[in-house]
Amino acid sequence: MERAAFELPRSSGVQLHVTSLPSGTLGPDAFAFVDWLAEAGQSWWQVLPLGPPDRQRSPYRSASAFAAWPGLLADPKAEVAPEEIDELRRREASWIGPWEAYAGPRAAADQVRFSREWGALRAYAAARGVRLIGDLPIYVAPGSADHRAFPELFKGGAVAGAPPDAYTRDGQLWGNPLYDWPALRRRGYRWWIERLRRTFELFDVARIDHFRGFTAYWAVPEGARTAARGAWRRGPGAAVFEAARAELGALPVIAENLGVITPPVERLRHRLGFPGMTVLQFAFDGDAANLNRLEAQEELGVVYTGTHDSDTLPGWWESLAPAARDVVLDALRGAGFGDDEPAWGLMRLGFSSPSALAMTQAQDVLGLGSAARMNTPGRAAGNWRWQLARGQLTAAAAERLRALTAESGRLRAGRP
């Protein structure tokens, strides 16, 4: 097995974005969730990107690749001393100036406030054996602070997307600006190094979205109505990460390698030692080449019961045709989990994976249906809105998840 780029012991965690907490902020609800994770025997809390979301509330089309969203603050009016702002400007000199020019006079003070609140939460979590996983979109949003401040790093004439496949006849037209990789190379990949530096200031580990774009990316002519007219263009390969590793040291990265993944993408991932991803909901189509199948999953990997883009486990189960349900039930019975309600049996199946890290969603722990789904790709409105009710994550739910974690050998020794 390839050597991992960072320590990834057999463990588990829960994905829940900050906005899905009852208050949607970094206040008491965030600390209470850490306490619940510790009670449940979990080692990881995964969130979505922390940048300012777009008008549809998507954190994946943020106004900044560096700045955090003031809307997450528990105390947005906390006093900030001038020397704190000066220190922030010194420490974050690579991006704070463009962000202040974009966001206005309160921008630096808000980032000081965020640094305080996030730092306190992260320290609290670490003391209870919980580490934080972040999410890094590969592209920046069109018209974002980064796009405006550094136009020389982006190409004109084409935008980002994904090619047609079995699910989307016209492909996916994302519209993000594409990187001018030769221009970035001439500058020593400085912008990307600073972006990764910022990411690892905030998180213990980060998932890089659309990792395959570093091998090859789908470029769609600007003005095209669909992504079908796009073409593959060569990405930078390992060079970005080698430059970052030379300056930052080990890169604790999870590579999002879902979708149509070619051998060069996997060779790059293994060369870098980055764990890849599998999703349990994709594991039952019978295709021998399907790397989401439990028996195909790698120890150097992360298995998800579902992601922010997929349905909840109960919602997914309800959507299955009878024949597909039979396939899933056969898998559950074969693993000895057939007597559970389907969603919980699927969680047990996912946690039994050989993959070092198993992640589930809070919605799955609670057995919630499709109304609790975080995002439906291709739908512009109605996403990113689901929130917990205060007290919804009970001690009984924590006890049940802890038992599952222990059963699958993921309960860390010496946990509080």
Q: List all residues 6 or more positions away from 384 whose beta carbon is below 8 Å from its beta carbon.
A: 17, 19, 53, 56, 57, 58, 59, 374, 375
- Pairing mode, strands 11-15 and 44-46: parallel
Q: Indicate the number of domains in the chain.
A: 1
**Which residue intervals of 133-203 are DSSP H helices?**
145-149, 181-186, 190-202
d(CA 144, CA 69): 14
How distant, in Å, are the alpha carbons of 5, 42, 212, 274, 301 from that of 2?
Answer: 9, 26, 19, 9, 11
Tell whether 416 is covered by a domain.
no
Could you give the angle at the alpha carbon of 58 between the alpha carbons of 54 and 61, nearest 5°? 60
Is 256 a known active-site residue? yes
Tell whether 6 is covered by a domain.
no
Question: Which three-class secondary structure state does DSSP give residue 152?
Answer: helix
Tell whether 1 is covered by a domain.
no
How does pLDDT run along the chain (416 residues), one tens digit per residue? 456 788 899 999 999 999 999 999 999 999 999 999 999 999 999 999 999 999 999 999 999 999 999 999 999 999 999 999 999 999 999 999 999 999 999 999 999 999 999 999 999 999 999 999 999 999 999 999 999 999 999 999 999 999 987 667 888 899 999 999 999 999 999 999 999 999 999 999 999 999 999 999 999 999 999 999 999 999 999 999 999 999 999 999 999 998 778 999 999 999 999 999 999 999 998 777 788 888 889 999 999 999 999 999 999 999 999 999 999 999 999 999 988 888 999 999 999 999 999 999 999 999 999 999 999 987 878 999 999 999 999 999 999 999 999 999 999 765 55
Catalytic residue among 209, 242, 299, 340: 209
Catalytic residue among 100, 110, 146, 256: 256
Question: Which three-class secondary structure state does DSSP give residue 359?
Answer: strand
Catalytic residue among 201, 309, 318, 340: 309
Tell whether 4 is covered by a domain.
no
Does residue 127 contact residue 35 with C-beta atoms inside 8 Å? no
From 364, 348, 356, 209, select the one nearest 297 (Cα to Cα): 356
Question: Which three-class secondary structure state does DSSP give residue 192?
Answer: helix
How distant, in Å, are the alpha carbons of 81, 100, 136 from that of 109?
Answer: 9, 10, 23
Tell whether 343 is covered by a domain.
yes
d(CA 342, CA 362): 16
Tell whether 391 is covered by a domain.
yes
**Number of Cβ within a 10 Å radius of residue 175:** 16
From 284, 296, 275, 282, select the one nearest 353 (Cα to Cα): 296
Is 326 a known active-site residue? no
Could you give the angle at the alpha carbon of 212 between the alpha carbons of 276 and 184, nearest 5°? 120
Write down the pLDDT at residue 415: 54
Which domain does 97 fall in, by range?
11-407
Tell whether 293 is covered by a domain.
yes
Write down the pLDDT at residue 1: 46
Write down the pLDDT at residue 167: 64
| 87-118: burial string, b at 16+ Cβ within 10 Å, e else | ebeeebeebbebbbebbeeebbbbbbbbbbbb
Write down the pLDDT at residue 294: 87
Task: Give the phi and the psi of residue 135 in degrees, each rounded to 5.
Answer: -140, 125
Residue 245: is it exposed, middle or buried by C-beta count within 10 angstroms (0-12/13-18/19+)? middle
d(CA 51, CA 199): 11
Write down the pLDDT at residue 263: 93
d(CA 408, CA 43): 14
Write down the pLDDT at residue 416: 52
Tell whether 5 is covered by a domain.
no
Write down the pLDDT at residue 152: 97
Structure-block tokens of residue 59: 């954190």
Question: Which three-class secondary structure state does DSSP give residue 176?
Answer: strand
Is 309 a known active-site residue? yes
CATH number of the domain where residue 379 is located? 3.20.20.80
